[in-house]
Chain A
């Protein structure tokens, strides 16, 4: 009886409902509910209990201590600034490196394109951690890579400036370098998908109307690839800003990035409300610009009817 009913329902609107509903259920379970939990924790107070937060009793029901410390404690403001600047530099470098690579991918023959696309994705086949360790080896004082850069530096500078090795490790330089290396595919793939759809006849039309190739790029290719640039930039910037592993392994421990701060508050400081406040602040910082972008884009798509 029950089974019949379910079968009947599925044959009616059921399958459509299931297909449309699944992503919503997914978002509800794995985004919305955890988000609400974190939000709730961020308004709690730190207690010596387990879990280490509480409401009421000696403490106010809602506490804004975490949020107020965000604005008053130097550590958090600096962590945000370091995170945002590292992520921004990494994003710009990824774009500068990734754009010519994506453009080249659209211009080579189909067989080459498949090989090159595979090479872009190939690093994902080895452990991410392993690759970061490989970079640590390369940047270390005794590596051939560091030696090569040191020799090049010594060759170009006067003798009084000479160094025995370049201190690359434990710096924002190291963080940005490894982040660029790690996130480059996330820039290349959406950009390639965007550039690949552009009609090459438009380039010919612009050339035919008197534009030299670089001008064609500025007038035709670049404006049309803006959605790809924005998609790639978000895919790089958002995880880079919250990055934990890379700054922990190769970064400067004296000025941590925000991911490290959240992890420390949760674990060693066991101040969950503070950690949650930082996490919520980071989320707002990321979501704000994104919503602005989608708003702007849907407006642009609606057209400029007079």
Chain B
């Protein structure tokens, strides 16, 4: 493989005694949408600011398109940022905002004007060029910020919580628009977000961060289906986790004893397991099948319905296990009649495929 477009090598950042980013190494390919996902204070924004040049790493190096960024000030980096607050210049019209970065390009006035028009066209704001930022809506402001950041054709676009300030309906629409604009311009996007759904739909790959470290990097399906730690499993989607102990290993199937189930179940083995090891067994609610009759086969647990929430297309059950612990089950309401569905206090059986259970060592 060729040299990666963006290479972050062992980057750490300390503010006084606070370790904001700790030994992060990542590579991002050209044209990729890459998300940094994590809760507040996980270091994702600091990492983004180091890419933009507002902060210098305490340790480590950042390469963009093969160029070492150490000591390069923000105004010389081929990187533009879309700020969370959009940071539009309130005293300039939409056109002037979009054209601001072009002042530094070697262009004639006509070329500049054409480029601004092209950008406004891209974000469908052509009729609003003469307005001031306070005269347009939040969603339009977001698009002005995007157009401004893209106008100089950056090699890398950084997006800091790009959808956080929009309401839910607009957010979904804008998500797809962002993806289509990325596709048309081919610019590499690095997105910072705390919203796991946003990261999942938007990105080619996600880096999940916690306490300044990258916990896992992978495609959305990878981090969802194969999380490598309790943190990642819990942060992306919902999951119920129980302590377990490995009792047997056969090929890629591990048999684990789960105290909460008062039973042994089979799960897909992960590398490096030993018999007798303490692990965590985690199951996502939608991977469990709920039934009133005991199903055939392995991995069947008995329980009792404690709570049930009916959402229309699906229902969420909370099942009390024999040990008294609770487990969540998501069940799609395929049939139309309510008959045959478990109700409050019903005795039920839960089953799952061995491949659906996740074994977590960390």
Contacts and interface: CB of A to CB of B under 8 A. Distances in A.
A199 B104 CA distance: 23
A206 B93 CA distance: 15
Contacts of A305: 130-131, 135
A211 B87 contact: no
Contact of B52 (A208, A212, A303, A306): A208
Nearest to B99: A209
Interface in A209-231: 209-212, 219-220, 223-224
Contacts of B132: 303-304
- Taking chain A's interface residues, is the majority helix, strand, or loop, or is none over half, making it mixed? helix
B81 A306 contact: no
Contact of A210 (B88, B89, B104): B104
Contacts of A304: 93, 130, 132
A206 B91 contact: no
Interface in B131-152: 131-132, 135, 148-149, 152
B74 A207 contact: yes
A210 B54 contact: no
Contacts of A264: none
Contacts of B152: 209-210
B75 interface: yes
Contacts of A219: 89, 100
A206 B80 CA distance: 10
Interface residues of A, number: 20
Contact of B81 (A202, A205, A211, A224): A205
A204 B75 contact: no
B101 interface: yes
Contact of B75 (A208, A220, A223, A303): A208
B304 to A, nearest CB: 54
Contacts of A36: none
A201 interface: yes
B53 to A, nearest CB: 8
A33 B100 CA distance: 52
A91 B104 CA distance: 34
A202 B74 contact: no
A209 B135 contact: no
A113 to B, nearest CB: 20
A209 B148 contact: yes
Contacts of B100: 206, 209, 219
What interface size band does chain B fall in? 20 to 34
Contacts of B315: none
Interface in B67-90: 73-76, 79-81, 83, 85, 87-90
Nearest to A201: B87
A223 B104 contact: no
Interface in A271-306: 303-306
Contacts of A209: 75, 80, 100-101, 104, 148-149, 152
A204 to B, nearest CB: 6
Given A210-B152, A303-B135, A205 B89 contact: yes
Given A205-B81, A303-B135, A210 B87 contact: no
A211 B83 contact: no
A42 B353 CA distance: 101
Contacts of B83: 201, 204-205
Contacts of A204: 54, 74, 81, 83, 87
A47 B103 CA distance: 69
Contacts of B131: 303, 305
A204 B55 CA distance: 11
User: By CB atoms of chain B within 10 A, which of A204, A224, A305, A306 has the most?
Assistant: A204
Contacts of B81: 204-205, 208
A45 to B, nearest CB: 53
Given A204-B54, A303-B135, A210 B91 contact: no
A306 B130 contact: yes
A204 B87 CA distance: 9
Contacts of B135: 303, 305
Nearest to A210: B104
A130 B84 CA distance: 53
Contacts of A210: 75-76, 101, 103-104, 152
A200 B223 CA distance: 36
Contacts of A211: 75, 103-104
Contacts of B73: 207, 212
B75 A212 contact: yes
Nearest to A300: B91
Interface in B88-128: 88-91, 93, 100-101, 103-104
A306 B131 CA distance: 8
Nearest to B105: A210
A228 B195 CA distance: 40
User: By CB atoms of chain B within 10 A, which of A202, A207, A209, A220 has the most?
Assistant: A209
Contacts of B130: 304-306
A201 B103 CA distance: 20
A297 to B, nearest CB: 13
A201 B85 contact: yes
Contacts of B149: 209
Contacts of A208: 52-53, 74-75, 79-81
A207 B77 CA distance: 10
Q: Which 9 A-B pairs have the closest CB atoms?
A: A209-B101, A210-B104, A205-B87, A201-B87, A207-B74, A208-B81, A223-B91, A306-B130, A210-B75
Interface of B: 52-54, 73-76, 79-81, 83, 85, 87-91, 93, 100-101, 103-104, 130-132, 135, 148-149, 152
13 contacts: A201-B83, A201-B85, A204-B81, A204-B87, A209-B148, A209-B149, A209-B152, A210-B75, A210-B103, A210-B104, A211-B104, A223-B91, A304-B132
Given A202-B90, A208-B80, A224-B91, 15 more contacts: A199-B85, A201-B85, A204-B74, A204-B83, A205-B83, A205-B88, A205-B89, A207-B54, A208-B79, A209-B75, A209-B148, A211-B104, A303-B131, A304-B93, A305-B131
